[in-house]
A and B are shown apart, each in its own frame.
Chain A
Amino acid sequence: MTRSTTILPVAAMFALALIAWKAIVVIGGLPVFILPPPEVVGERFVRAWTDGTIPPHFGATLQEVLLGFVVGAGLALVIGYGLARSALVERLLSPYLVAAQATPILALAPLLALWFGAGLLSKVVICALIVFFPVAVATMVGVRSVDAGLLELGRSLRATRRQIVTTLEVPAALPSILGGMRVGVTLAVVGAIVGEWAGASQGLGVLVNLARGSLFDIPLMFATLLTIALLGIVLYGLVVLTERRLVGPR
């Protein structure tokens, strides 16, 4: 499909969603503090960004998300590789990994905030924890998917351990790893917001609470939610772009 033929339906879908939103407000006769109409949210969004309400909170959240993603995904690559290559490592670690994943992050966040304080560190830990699982599993699956025939070829060509990793295992596992990172990066946003709810002075999660509570500025709350959603979309898009660059046609 060409660019213009994809843009048109996408724009139409967006317009349709806005019309539906507006229709619900008008037909339902909903007051602004329940569901503000799209044009009010749009205007508040622009104003909150230009008058400096959102930017510092946005910066704080972005920092937590990026640091947490890098730490979580980095650890996940190493551990995921170990899980794929050693049955012992898998047997020893997987119960704890699954347990950590099965415990809702919402329930863990207050504890982590208690241990690591109300600053940046506790959010990075929460983000890293939530990013870790999908990336580790994707790495494990990806590394295991390397064709045994290719590994034998590598051996017949006297590839070193390091060459096996860089020329066979990593390229073969890359599509799977980046698939895990797509999931991970959106979860990192969730992690940051949850972490901020458990105790913070700055961040988009804090702003949502402020707007709903002491400020009672519901359009601002919606503008903040919109910012959070856009952050997730942009980060996801960046991973997809990286994927296109690195993986290419096969």
Chain B
Amino acid sequence: MSGHLVIRDVAVDFPRPGGRLEVLEGIDLEVQPGEVVALIGPNGSGKSTLLRVAAGLLAPNRGTVELDGRRILQPDPAIGLVFQEPRLLPWRTVAANVAYPLELAGWPRPRREARVAELLELIGLTGWAEVRPSQLSGGIRQRAALARALALEPRVLLLDEPFSALDALTRERLNLELLELWGRTGTSIVVVTHSIQEAIFLADRVAVLASRPGRIVANLRVALPRPRSLDALDAAAVSPLAAEIRHRLGELAA
């Protein structure tokens, strides 16, 4: 199990009337196998665009993405993606939603069912297997989306503000669960967030992005021991780091 993601000199611009809009400029980011990196930045800093490039959904105008030495030019089974919204198929049950990537990949039914049972167990969704998304709370829906993203055993997991639509308590619990999952699966993780606290709690490293054009202006190490509990945020090391991140983000706003 590896998951070494290397983003090199990535630039993205979109055409617009009277010129081009630079969304990302000269992005370099390396994620070590098993590392958790948080991307934080204001709106318009191209965080989601960067995630799409890394996922192979969007071809950059310049630069490359490599996973374990292989160029990523299109979506790849080794990359799992969780969106801001759960994006569950409303006509399918939780189990059938989790099975969806396996179905598209052509797994035979018995193997599919075994894998889905395993995933539901892992995420703690076994009791919800036969329920449809409309009957579920936001937290359960996003858990199902997470289970779906893990279905093909990706080596890197990309999360685009995955819990931002949830209430604060659910969000804390899901962050904790995400770290537990990470401990068990060992995937590398890149998570986009708006929350300094969330970035520090989850990540080994926080990359701060500036906007227009989006670029990385700081790369800060989080020196908190693992495994982390929610109390970890009270540690002495946290406030200077949070202040540093806030300072960098503040410079951008100024």
Contact-residue bracket for chain B? 20 to 34
Q: Does B91 contact A (CB under 8 A)?
A: yes
Alpha-carbon distance between A155 and B87 when the two chains are bound, in angstroms: 13
- Determine whether the beta carbon of A149 is less than 8 Å from that of B57: no
Checking B77, B83, B90, B104 against A159 with a beta-carbon cut-off of 8 angstroms, the contacting residue is: B104
Which residues of the partner chain A approach B74 to less than 8 Å between Cβ atoms? 158
Bound-state CA distance A154–B88 (Å) is 11
Q: Does A78 contact B (CB under 8 A)?
A: no
Q: A149 with B85: in contact, given A158-B74, A250-B134 (CB under 8 Å)?
A: yes
Instruction: Select B87's contact among A149, A167, A171, beta carbons within 8 Å.
Output: A149
Contact B87 A158 (CB under 8 A): no
Given the complex, which residues of B lie within 8 Å of A158, measured CB to CB?
Answer: 74-77, 104-105
Pair count A-B, CB < 8 A: 48
Number of A positions contacting B (CB below 8 A): 20
Mask for A92-131, Cβ within 8 A of B = 1, else 0? 0000000000000000000000000000000000000000
Interface of B, secondary structure class, is loop
> Is the beta-carbon distance between A149 and B83 smaller than 8 angstroms?
yes
Report if A29 contacts B (CB, 8 A).
Answer: no
Provide 12 A-B residue pairs closer than 8 Å at the C-beta atoms, listed in order of the A residue.
Answer: A147-B87, A149-B87, A152-B57, A154-B104, A156-B57, A157-B105, A158-B77, A159-B104, A167-B89, A171-B91, A248-B91, A250-B132
Which chain B positions have C-beta within 8 A of A247?
Answer: 91
Q: A residues within 8 A CB of B103?
A: 167
How near does chain B come to A79, taking the closest CB pair, in angstroms? 24
**Across-interface contacts of B81 in A (CB, < 8 A):** 153, 156
Q: Is there contact, CB below 8 Å, between A156 and B75?
A: yes
7 further A-B pairs in the complex, CB-CB below 8 A; given A149-B85, A163-B104, A249-B132: A149-B87, A150-B89, A158-B76, A171-B89, A171-B91, A248-B91, A250-B132
Residues 102-138 (chain B) with a chain A CB within 8 angstroms: 103-105, 132, 134
